[in-house]
Amino acid sequence: MTTPVRIKTFRADSLQVAYEQIRSEFGPDASVLETKPIKRGFFGKSLFEVTASTKVAERPATKEEETLDSIPKPNEAAMLGTDRSIESPLGADRSVAGPSDGDRGGAKDRMEPVSVSHFQGNASAKLDRICQQVSQEMLGAGLEVSIVEQWIMAARATCDPAVFQDAWSLRSEILTWVRDFVHCAPPLDLDSRSLLRIALIGPTGAGKTTTIAKLAATLSMDSQGKVGILQLDPRNLGPCRSLLGYQELMGWEFEVATKLDEIAGALERLQRCDRILVDTPGCSPSDRGSLEWLEQSLNLACPTSTLLVVPSICNSHTFQRYELSFAGFGPDSMVLTKLDESGGLGPLFSCLQNSSIPVSFLTNGQHVPSDLIPATNARLAQHVFSFTS
């Protein structure tokens, strides 16, 4: 005679929600049999599958049930006849579900069912400490609480316990996941013989002109071709003095267009240059007039690629406004500037995760050209967490 056991698999966006479902349906003494993420990758919507069991309260069997009980059920043995010891992602003892009486022998070897509440608090003190430390670091890097919780739970549920020897191991593991998620643009082909005409667009003060100087200096050093700069200046502010300073030093050709009908002539004068960088005026997302002028000027300048320059010091709301306002220009990639000021990309993580524009460069200072860093997945991941070790 066995104690009836009910087994059910619950699915939820997070382990917490799954445990709540189990607790409300099966009560506090439910046993967790298995926990697994059913979608790989932590940056899409993770789904967790938790299989739990509970003993069904015994009541006197009806006549009908007594008759049925006497007939062997083919699946019962397969389902309940063997203790199922589940390998724990936490390295802790795990629950065993099934018949509760000693009809299968080996009572000494059998583990006691572990309740849901026990399972949640069952992590070793060491693992708790490591997870807490890394959680604090991620929160300190400006990541959203929900993301931190999700990743720590995912780490606990999916990683080999051997990974968690120390905080460093957990950081490395998380960095590996993030590397797979972040989108980087392929590096600029500086050796390419074909014409390179790069326009930088973005809000005022984002760092467009400074990045142009860095790119132009890099191109001057790395390529054989002549470098030219076209400054679009509808407000007639005059040639940018910092660019002019570098121009003398580096031998760049330099043209300014203040009106749309001056663009063709300026490009004509830059025809000896096979690397042209187009510096555009800053546009506020709400300034339709400036955005329209920018669109018309880019139609005339015909860049081979357009980079959206976004300061990493902005918050996620502003980032989304910039992205939305400049999406119509079809930027090929994004330059994230002023990392030295923002201290990292943690607060922008969700935006970067959801953005369709890959990152091509990071800038972390005003030095030309040394503070221009080609983006790689590893670098971006590191800046998301600002992990120092």
CA 153 to chain centre: 16
Amino acid in position 57: A
98 binds, among Mg ion, ligand GDP, none (CB under 5 to 8 A by kind): none
**Which of 52-60, 205-213, 246-254, 372-380 is the region at the interface with Mg ion (rule: CB under 5 A)?**
205-213
277 has which bridge partners? Answer: 198, 229
Binding residue for Mg ion (CB under 5 A) from 54, 115, 122, 209?
A: 209
* Cis peptide bond prior to 99, omega within 30° of 0: no
Give the footprint of ligand GDP on this chain (CB under 6 A): 202, 204-210, 282, 309, 337-338, 340-341, 363-366, 371
Kindly tell me which of 10 and 254 has the beta carbon lying closer to ligand GDP: 254
220 binds, among ligand GDP, Mg ion, none (CB under 5 to 8 A by kind): none
Contact call for residue 337 and Mg ion (CB under 5 A):
no
User: Both tokens of residue 259?
Assistant: 């009106």
* Element at 35 (helix H, strand E): strand 31-37
341 binds, among Mg ion, ligand GDP, none (CB under 5 to 8 A by kind): ligand GDP
Closest distance of CB 22 from Mg ion, Å: 57
Q: How far apart are CA 9 and CA 21, in angstroms?
A: 10
Helices 377-385, 167-181: inter-axial angle, 10-degree rounding: 130
Q: How far apart are CA 159 and CA 172, in angstroms?
A: 12
**Which of 101-109, 200-208, 219-227, 263-271 is the region at the interface with Mg ion (rule: CB under 5 A)?**
200-208
Kindly tell me which of 94 and 208 has the beta carbon lying closer to Mg ion: 208
Q: How far apart are CA 313 and CA 228, in angstroms?
A: 30
**Which of 53-61, 84-92, 120-128, 208-216 is the region at the interface with Mg ion (rule: CB under 5 A)?**
208-216
3-state secondary structure of 310: strand
Kindly tell me which of 147 and 313 has the beta carbon lying closer to Mg ion: 313
Closest distance of CB 180 from Mg ion, Å: 35
Amino acid in position 351: C
Closest distance of CB 248 from Mg ion, Å: 19
β-pairing, 31-37 vs 48-55, is: antiparallel
**Contact criterion met (CB below 8 Å) for 283 and 291:** yes
Kindly tell me which of 97 and 372 has the beta carbon lying closer to Mg ion: 372
Contact call for residue 158 and Mg ion (CB under 5 A):
no
371 binds, among ligand GDP, Mg ion, none (CB under 5 to 8 A by kind): ligand GDP
Kindly tell me which of 158 and 337 has the beta carbon lying closer to Mg ion: 337
User: Both tokens of residue 311?
Assistant: 């300061």
Tokens 């590191």 -> residue: 382
Closest distance of CB 232 from Mg ion, Å: 10
Amino acid in position 221: M
Which residues contribute to the site for Mg ion (CB under 5 A)? 208-209
